[in-house]
């Protein structure tokens, strides 16, 4: 019987091989390939869909409006990950054969899985607003770019913000987090801050997918923390807000990280979510920038848009997906500035991403003025900018309710260094010395 | 029942009760706080019972352990919420019911009839397939975003017994209304089963397929009816859960919550589904709130299963189930 | 004509009882192994290795393990993902805490850890069966998921809860390139397939099958249900545990408990059902089918000029899986393996059917 196994397997493999070849042929030589790891199904689809739409729309816009980057066409392909690490890994392997320059997996779990692989494959990993916090250190993480902000910044900024309302000494802060690498990421910083600021930290994990939170919120009702930080994703966020309502926890004292502060999170609770706060990663739900007008003009008026409804353009997560794609495109452009206006490789885009300089004028030219802060990356700083502010849901829309905060480098820098060095030691590789990198 | 099994069952419940009240005895928990958690648990338990009920109905009548019940909940809720965009609520409910009945008919024709007289486990795996198909089909048809289902359930909680205890006891009104709906449905089903001719026919089929058939009860039609009733239960569960959580993919996961309930209560017993639901709901919330912090939290996901598993070891038929007898 | 046993006389017990009694089978197997070991590493692209061959082989191993339990012994388990996780985390801890341990030793010990856990959760099978048992094994699945997510010791105090495997090496040789990984996995899977084949046709395999067909009757003719069921759980969990370790170390590289959640258990059960219950070959066919179907679904519509959205493809994938499960259960409960056997029957006479 066993030969049969082999035979059938061989057939299957031959079939798959043929497909692989066809796939290779499809990728044309004069295109820059940008893969889109998305999730449009499953428990995280409500949040995954707008991000994916924004990401893909920006690539489409570059194609339709500019004809590519410096005359080089952009090709893209979506791959569904379902927010599952192994499926993301599969997508990475599948799309790798098309010579992609940069991945944006939109999942901290997938980021962790890919971090070990990208240096060997020479592919850039742009994790705008998520991913592994210590990868800010480009010495150890050459190919990983947690641009715009990491969860360590977010934790620090949230604490800074609640501190403005009075000393935290003797106060209680509850962290309600998604029980995955994503949700666990801020814990080291919050623990360090709880020591220095003197507040008590309650850690309340919520299991995937996050629809079971009754017990969590009963605990909150009993412990009566002064603030709740919500580190959720997908359906977990809206459930958390609903459960908060069910135990009468004041929404004003709730703060979501920037992934727990978008329309799909608050809309299911409708008016009752009023007063709920969240971090805004540079942008909120701006929808009248030149970039949005271009989206409508070049894509939606021609029926080419990805989103099901035109109104989705400009929603919080749509904007973030758009900015992620923009950072990828700008990294490509920056690489072309050094290596020539041709189809660049992943290795060249690494240089581009490491020398990205988006100042206010450039952001204005890109049409995203006011949606992100000027940023500049370098070998020792793969993040570029570490600022955020608070926005609050008023029952129908988000509006800013605080000034800009910048995370405390004195606190975070040593932690990043220690953690990144530990990673290098674990993986037994030599870190780059950033003082010698031009 | 053997004496050992009886003693073990008694011991199990004594332990359970002891565990439930222990936070007040050992810990510093005050009674009102405990009561809040217990109430929350009981109300959640009623909702589990609602899904478990669908499982028991189908199992009783056709011997199928219907894993697709969760998928049916999602499918019903999705259909309803998308139809409500186009028509008034009442019309949408009727239309959704029609869809669920059609679904029952199709499942009977395409899945159950060809598999008649197969072993239970084969039928179980077939419903796994049905569950996958429905998950995909429902989302392909109606979309996979999160939809708000507003049927006017009260959202704000109420504080009761404020005079008796300091701070009062919090009561989730939404859960309470949901529990009321569930109780009404159970009562209606009981009446249907006990008092109508169809109900009696259903019970006859449940007792013995062949005997029922030999006295002229049409098996196929009975199955369509049972699956339709299960569809109705799924719709009610979908409305209740969907209004709580929003209608989205995770709704299909509530089936996983209902499994330990039927195991504990017994597969063939409607009262079992209700008592089992209450025990599981109560145990889950108390354990999560009082044991969770020590163990690291998130234990409610397996607590119900382990509870059911331990119980199965000395009482394989569950609380109210029929005794399983094997013959060569 | 092509597949004919005529003239192959068995003149000794040894030749009658050999692994592949039919000449053509032997030729095929040897030919295929030569191809898999000797030719494949040179012709396959990196994509083939990483996205198809390696996951296919590892999942085949897990499906093989599950098939021992479900197909041969009739005990349905929905906790396979959990047992894979035990293997993966055991291997991780061994590799991290005992740095100089040989990789093979690590995998075998990881398998043994999974065996212990598997037997422990197999104990209820002595009292309950059918879907009662299926639900009971879900307890294992959820408990194990929780354990590795919550107990920090198992993840070596990793702050994110995600662990990554150390670089692979054996006897000083690194296993780095996709082809090396493929050969490593292939060697292990071939050995395990051989073991499974021999176990299932031996006394122990027959006691499993007797238990599956009717456990009360099996007990009457003197097969101890305790030994039969628990040995099936032990062997199955060992296979599954090793495959879990391979999945983590060779395929994923770094992982979190969600990689082994209940969907993995369902996926493996589907492989076994579609491939064929109670068939070694079926485990491989089922794994191949489930690994390749999503890839094919992704490519086919585009190749045919139909544009489907990513979401629609995933939905269709779910629908096809669901429909196929029902289809196979109704039409061919023994799965793809049975279809292959039928094809062989036909080949006996073809092309001269008279």
**C155: nearest CA partner in chain A:** A181
Average pLDDT, chain C: 87
**A306: nearest CA partner in chain C:** C309
Q: For residue B38, what are the CA distances in angstroms to A85, A218, A408, B156?
A: 37, 10, 44, 19
**C161: nearest CA partner in chain A:** A181
The answer to whether A61 touches A301, Cβ cutoff 8 Å, is no
CA distance A114 to A106: 12
pLDDT reading at C135 higher than 70: yes
Render the burial of B222-250: b for 16+ CB within 10 Å, e for the rest: bbbbbbbbbbbbbbbbbbbbbbbbbbbbb
Best CA proximity match to A196, nearest among A167, A223, A220: A167
Q: Which of residues 325-344 of A touch B (CB under 8 A)?
A: none
Backbone angles phi, psi at A280, to 5 degrees: -110, 125
Question: Average pLDDT, stretch C44-61?
Answer: 88
pLDDT classification of B1: cutoffs 50, 70, 90: low
CA angle, corner A20, sides to A17 and A26, nearest 5? Answer: 145
From B125, B313, B316, residue closest to C273, measured CB to CB? B125
Q: What are the residues facing A357 on neighbouring strands?
A: A376
Interface residue of A59, A93, A155, A203 to substitute, partner C, most C CBs within 10 Å:
A93
Chain C residues with beta carbon closer than 8 angstroms to that of A96 = 46-47, 50
Neighbours of chain A (3+ CB pairs under 8 A): B, C
Q: In this predicted model, what pLDDT tens digit does every residue of A291-324 receive, in sequence order?
A: 999 999 999 999 888 888 888 898 999 999 999 9
Question: Do residue C330 and residue B115 have CB atoms under 8 angstroms apart?
Answer: yes
pLDDT classification of A1: cutoffs 50, 70, 90: very low
From B131, B263, B299, residue closest to C146, measured CB to CB? B299
Q: What are the residues facing C174 on neighbouring strands?
A: C169
pLDDT score for A147: 92
| CA gyration radius, chain C | 21
Question: Do residue B250 and residue A209 have CB atoms under 8 angstroms apart?
Answer: yes
CA distance A353 to C18: 62
From C263, C289, C311, residue closest to A41, measured CB to CB? C311
From B124, B131, B140, residue closest to C315, measured CB to CB? B140
CA distance A35 to C68: 40
The answer to whether C285 touches A5, Cβ cutoff 8 Å, is yes
Question: Do residue C145 and residue B139 have CB atoms under 8 angstroms apart?
Answer: no
Q: For residue C86, what are the CA distances in angstroms to C9, C99, C134?
A: 47, 19, 19
Tell me the DSSP string of C228-278.
HHHHHHHHHHHHHHHHHHHIIIIIISEE-GGGGSHHHHHHHHHHHHHH-TT
C266 CA to chain B: closest CA distance, Å?
9
Average pLDDT, chain B: 83
- Token pair of B267 as six digits: 């597969």
Q: What are the residues facing A201 on neighbouring strands?
A: A173
B180 CA to chain C: closest CA distance, Å?
29
Chain B residues with beta carbon closer than 8 angstroms to that of A212 = 300-301
Q: Among A65-69, A284-288, A293-297, B250-254, whose mean pLDDT is lowest?
A: B250-254
The answer to whether B145 touches A49, Cβ cutoff 8 Å, is yes
The answer to whether B62 touches B77, Cβ cutoff 8 Å, is no
pLDDT score for C190: 94
Regarding pTM above 0.90, the answer is: no
ipTM for the complex?
0.85
Question: Do residue C319 and residue B124 have CB atoms under 8 angstroms apart?
Answer: no
Question: Do residue A188 and residue C340 have CB atoms under 8 angstroms apart?
Answer: no
Does the beta carbon of B40 lie under 8 angstroms from any beta carbon of chain A? yes
- Token pair of B285 as six digits: 């919330």
CA distance A387 to A379: 19
Q: What are the residues facing A124 on neighbouring strands?
A: A102
Question: Do residue C20 and residue A180 have CB atoms under 8 angstroms apart?
Answer: no
Chain centroid offset of residue B122 CA: 22
3-state DSSP assignment of residue B140? helix
Neighbours of A297 (CB within 10 A): 14
C34 CA to chain A: closest CA distance, Å?
11
Neighbours of chain B (3+ CB pairs under 8 A): A, C
Question: Do residue B296 and residue C138 have CB atoms under 8 angstroms apart?
Answer: no
Does the beta carbon of B154 lie under 8 angstroms from any beta carbon of chain A? no
pLDDT score for A80: 87
A278 CA to chain C: closest CA distance, Å?
22
pLDDT classification of C134: cutoffs 50, 70, 90: confident
The answer to whether C121 touches C79, Cβ cutoff 8 Å, is yes
pLDDT score for C60: 96
Contacts of A169 (CB under 8 A, 6+ apart): A197, A198, A199
Question: Average pLDDT, stretch C298-322?
Answer: 80
pLDDT score for A26: 45
Question: Average pLDDT, stretch A168-176?
Answer: 93
Question: Average pLDDT, stretch A108-116?
Answer: 88
The answer to whether A81 touches A38, Cβ cutoff 8 Å, is yes
**C263: nearest CA partner in chain A:** A84
pLDDT reading at B187 higher than 90: no
pLDDT score for A27: 46
Q: In this predicted model, what pLDDT tens digit does every residue of B92-133 receive, in sequence order?
A: 999 999 999 999 999 989 998 888 777 777 888 889 899 999
pLDDT classification of A2: cutoffs 50, 70, 90: very low
- Token pair of B181 as six digits: 């709906």
- Token pair of C188 as six digits: 């292990």
Chain C residues with beta carbon closer than 8 angstroms to that of A12 = 56, 288-289, 292
The torsion of the CA quartet C116, C120, C126, C129, rounded to 10 degrees, works out to -100
Backbone angles phi, psi at A103, to 5 degrees: -110, 145
CA distance B307 to B326: 25
3-state DSSP assignment of residue A103? strand
Question: Average pLDDT, stretch A45-73?
Answer: 91
- Token pair of B180 as six digits: 């009321």
Neighbours of chain C (3+ CB pairs under 8 A): A, B
User: Which run of H or of E encompasses A86?
Assistant: helix A85-96
Task: Say which DSSP state B154 is in.
Answer: -
Chain A residues with beta carbon closer than 8 angstroms to that of C29 = 2-3, 6
Chain C residues with beta carbon closer than 8 angstroms to that of B308 = 135-136, 139
pLDDT score for C354: 62
- Going by their DSSP bridges, the two strands A73-80 and A31-38 should be labelled as parallel
Question: Average pLDDT, stretch A126-137?
Answer: 91
Chain A residues with beta carbon closer than 8 angstroms to that of C251 = 86, 89
pLDDT score for C233: 94
**Residue whose pair of structure tokens reads 């739409």 in the numeric block:** A53
Task: Say which DSSP state A301 is in.
Answer: G
Question: Average pLDDT, stretch A357-379?
Answer: 91
User: Which run of H or of E encompasses A38?
Assistant: strand A31-38
Question: Average pLDDT, stretch C156-177?
Answer: 80
CA distance A218 to A249: 10
Backbone angles phi, psi at C254, to 5 degrees: -140, 145
Greatest Cα pair distance in chain A: 74
Tell me the DSSP string of A355-414.
T-EE-HHHHHHHT-TTTS--EE--SS-SS---EEEEEEE-SS-EEE-S--EE--HHHHHH
Most confident of A86-90, A117-121, B135-139, C112-116: C112-116
- Token pair of B163 as six digits: 């005079």
Question: Do residue C251 and residue A89 have CB atoms under 8 angstroms apart?
Answer: yes
pLDDT reading at B167 higher than 70: no
Question: Do residue B132 and residue C333 have CB atoms under 8 angstroms apart?
Answer: no
The answer to whether A253 touches A201, Cβ cutoff 8 Å, is no
Q: Which of residues 241-270 of C touch A (CB under 8 A)?
A: 251-256, 258-259, 261, 263
CA distance C232 to C250: 26
C159 CA to chain A: closest CA distance, Å?
7
Best CA proximity match to C196, nearest among C242, C136, C141: C242
Strands, E assignment, A244-384: 254-256, 277-280, 357-358, 375-376
A348 CA to chain C: closest CA distance, Å?
22
| CA gyration radius, chain A | 22
Question: How many percent of chain A have pLDDT more than 90?
Answer: 50
pLDDT score for C11: 81
C194 CA to chain B: closest CA distance, Å?
28
**Residue whose pair of structure tokens reads 């989302």 in the numeric block:** B139
Does the beta carbon of B27 lie under 8 angstroms from any beta carbon of chain A? no
Question: Do residue A3 and residue C309 have CB atoms under 8 angstroms apart?
Answer: no
Neighbours of B211 (CB within 10 A): 11
The answer to whether B272 touches B266, Cβ cutoff 8 Å, is yes
Q: Which of residues 29-48 of C touch A (CB under 8 A)?
A: 29, 31-33, 35-36, 40, 44-48
CA distance B136 to A339: 46
Chain B residues with beta carbon closer than 8 angstroms to that of A219 = 288-289, 292-293
pLDDT reading at A19 higher than 50: no
Positive or negative, the Cα torsion across B9, B11, B13, B15?
negative
Render the burial of C329-338: b for 16+ CB within 10 Å, e for the rest: bbeebbbbbb
The alpha helices in chain C, defined as continuous H runs, are 13-17, 23-34, 40-43, 46-47, 54-67, 80-97, 103-122, 130-150, 178-201, 203-213, 215-220, 225-246, 262-275, 280-303, 310-331, 335-349
Chain A residues with beta carbon closer than 8 angstroms to that of B244 = 242
Contacts of C204 (CB under 8 A, 6+ apart): C228, C231
Contacts of B321 (CB under 8 A, 6+ apart): B265, B266, B267, B268, B269, B272
Backbone angles phi, psi at C172, to 5 degrees: 85, -10
Does the beta carbon of A268 lie under 8 angstroms from any beta carbon of chain B? yes
Q: In this predicted model, what pLDDT tens digit does every residue of C250-280 receive, in sequence order?
A: 988 888 888 898 889 999 998 998 898 888 9
From B128, B297, B309, residue closest to C139, measured CB to CB? B309
Contacts of A407 (CB under 8 A, 6+ apart): A149, A152, A153, A156, A157, A160, A386, A387
pLDDT score for A335: 94
Average pLDDT, chain A: 87
């Amino acid at each position: 019987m066993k030969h049969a196994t082999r035979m059938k397997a061989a057939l299957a493999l031959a079939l798959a091989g043929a497909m692989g070849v066809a796939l290779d042929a499809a990728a044309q030589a004069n295109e820059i390939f940008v893969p889109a790891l998305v999730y449009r199904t499953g428990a995280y689809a409500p949040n995954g869909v707008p991000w994916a739409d924004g990401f893909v729309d920006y690539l489409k816009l570059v194609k339709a409006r500019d004809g590519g980057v410096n005359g080089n066409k952009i090709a893209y392909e979506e791959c569904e990950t379902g927010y599952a690490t192994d499926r993301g890994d599969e997508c990475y392997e599948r799309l790798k054969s098309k010579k992609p320059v940069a991945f944006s997996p939109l999942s901290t779990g997938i980021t962790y899985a890919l971090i070990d692989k990208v240096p060997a494959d020479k592919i850039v990993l742009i994790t705008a607003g998520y991913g592994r916090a210590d990868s800010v250190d480009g010495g150890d993480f050459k190919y990983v770019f947690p641009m715009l902000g990491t969860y360590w910044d977010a934790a620090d900024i949230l604490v800074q913000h609640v501190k403005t309302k009075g000393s935290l000494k003797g106060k209680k802060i509850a962290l309600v987090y998604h029980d995955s690498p994503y949700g666990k990421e801020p814990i080291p910083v919050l623990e360090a801050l709880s020591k220095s600021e003197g507040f008590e930290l309650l850690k309340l994990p919520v299991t995937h997918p996050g629809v079971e939170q009754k017990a969590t919120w009963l605990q909150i009702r009993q412990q009566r923390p002064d603030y709740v930080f919500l580190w959720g994703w997908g359906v977990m966020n809206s459930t958390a807000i609903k459960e908060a309502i069910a135990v009468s926890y004041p929404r004003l004292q709730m703060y979501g990280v920037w992934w727990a502060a978008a329309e799909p999170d608050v809309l299911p609770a409708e008016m009752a979510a009023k007063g709920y706060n969240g971090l805004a990663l540079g942008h909120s739900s701006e929808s009248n920038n030149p970039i949005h007008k271009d989206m409508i003009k070049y894509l939606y008026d021609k029926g080419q848009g990805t989103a099901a409804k035109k109104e989705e353009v400009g929603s919080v997560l749509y904007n973030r997906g758009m900015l992620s794609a923009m950072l990828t495109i700008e990294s490509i452009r920056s690489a072309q500035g050094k290596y020539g206006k041709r189809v660049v490789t992943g290795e060249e885009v690494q240089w581009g991403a490491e020398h990205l300089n988006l100042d206010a004028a450039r952001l204005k030219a890109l049409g995203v003025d006011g949606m992100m802060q000027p940023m500049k990356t370098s070998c020792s700083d793969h993040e570029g900018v570490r600022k955020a502010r608070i926005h609050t849901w008023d029952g129908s829309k988000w509006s800013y309710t605080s000034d800009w905060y910048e995370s405390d480098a004195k606190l975070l820098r040593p932690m990043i260094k220690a953690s990144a060095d530990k990673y290098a030691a674990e993986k037994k590789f030599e870190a780059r010395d950033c003082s010698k990198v031009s | 029942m053997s004496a050992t099994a009886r003693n073990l069952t008694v011991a199990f419940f004594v332990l359970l009760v002891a565990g439930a009240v222990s936070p007040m005895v050992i810990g510093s928990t005050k009674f009102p706080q405990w009561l809040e958690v217990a109430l929350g648990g009981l109300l959640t338990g009623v909702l589990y019972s609602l899904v478990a009920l669908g499982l028991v109905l189908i199992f009783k009548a056709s011997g199928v352990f219907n894993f697709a019940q969760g998928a049916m909940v999602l499918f019903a809720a999705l259909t309803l919420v998308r139809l409500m965009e186009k028509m008034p609520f009442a019309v949408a409910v009727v239309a959704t019911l029609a869809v669920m009945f059609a679904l029952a008919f199709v499942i009977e024709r395409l899945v159950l009839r060809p598999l008649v007289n197969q072993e239970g486990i084969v039928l179980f795996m077939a419903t796994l397939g049905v569950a996958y198909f429905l998950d995909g089909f429902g989302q392909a048809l109606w979309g996979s975003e999160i939809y708000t289902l507003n049927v006017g359930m009260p959202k704000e909680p109420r504080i009761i017994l404020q005079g008796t205890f300091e701070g009062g006891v919090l009561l989730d009104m939404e859960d309470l209304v949901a529990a009321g709906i569930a109780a009404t449905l159970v009562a209606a089903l009981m009446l249907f089963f006990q008092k109508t001719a169809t109900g009696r026919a259903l019970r006859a089929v449940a007792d013995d397929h062949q005997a029922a058939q030999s006295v002229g009860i049409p098996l196929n039609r009975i199955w369509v009816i049972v699956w339709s009733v299960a569809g109705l239960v799924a719709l009610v569960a979908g409305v209740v859960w969907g209004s709580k959580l929003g209608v989205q993919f995770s709704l299909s996961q509530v089936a996983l919550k209902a499994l330990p309930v039927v195991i504990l209560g017994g597969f063939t017993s409607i009262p079992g589904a209700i008592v089992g639901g209450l025990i599981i709901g109560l145990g889950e919330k108390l354990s999560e709130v009082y044991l969770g912090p020590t163990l690291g939290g998130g234990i409610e996901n397996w607590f119900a299963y382990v509870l059911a598993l331990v119980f199965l070891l000395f009482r394989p038929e569950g609380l109210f189930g029929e005794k399983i007898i094997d013959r060569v | 004509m092509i597949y004919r046993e005529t003239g192959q006389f068995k003149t000794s017990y040894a030749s009658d009882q050999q692994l592949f009694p039919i000449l053509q089978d032997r030729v095929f197997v040897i030919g295929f192994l030569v191809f898999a070991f000797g030719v494949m590493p040179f012709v396959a692209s990196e994509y083939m290795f990483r996205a198809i061959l390696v996951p296919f082989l590892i999942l085949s191993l897990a499906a093989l393990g599950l098939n021992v339990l479900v197909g041969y012994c009739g005990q349905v388990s929905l906790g396979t993902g959990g047992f894979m996780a035990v293997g993966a985390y055991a291997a991780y801890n061994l590799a991290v805490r005992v740095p100089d341990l040989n990789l093979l030793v690590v995998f075998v010990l990881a398998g043994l850890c999974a065996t212990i856990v598997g037997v422990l959760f197999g104990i209820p099978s002595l009292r309950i069966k059918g879907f009662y048992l299926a639900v009971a094994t879900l307890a294992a699945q959820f408990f194990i998921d929780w354990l590795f997510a919550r107990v920090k010791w198992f993840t070596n105090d990793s702050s994110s809860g995600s662990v990554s495997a150390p670089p692979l090496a054996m006897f000083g040789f690194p296993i780095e390139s996709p082809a090396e990984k493929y050969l490593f996995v292939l060697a292990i899977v071939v050995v395990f397939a051989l073991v499974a084949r021999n176990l299932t046709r031996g006394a122990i395999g027959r006691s499993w099958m007797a238990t599956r067909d009717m456990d009360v009757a099996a007990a009457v003719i003197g097969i101890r249900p305790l030994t039969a069921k628990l040995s099936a759980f032990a062997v199955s969990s060992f296979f599954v545990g090793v495959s879990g370790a391979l999945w983590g170390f060779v395929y994923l590289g770094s992982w979190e408990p969600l990689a082994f959640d209940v969907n993995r258990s369902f996926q493996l059960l589907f492989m076994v059902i579609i491939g064929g219950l109670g068939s070694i070959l079926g485990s491989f066919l089922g794994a191949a089918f489930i690994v390749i179907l999503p890839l094919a679904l992704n490519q086919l519509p585009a190749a045919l000029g139909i544009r489907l959205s990513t979401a629609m493809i995933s939905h269709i994938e779910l629908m096809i899986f669901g429909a196929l499960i029902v289809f196979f259960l109704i039409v061919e409960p023994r799965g793809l393996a049975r279809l292959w056997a039928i094809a062989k029957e036909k080949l006996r006479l073809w092309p001269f059917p008279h």
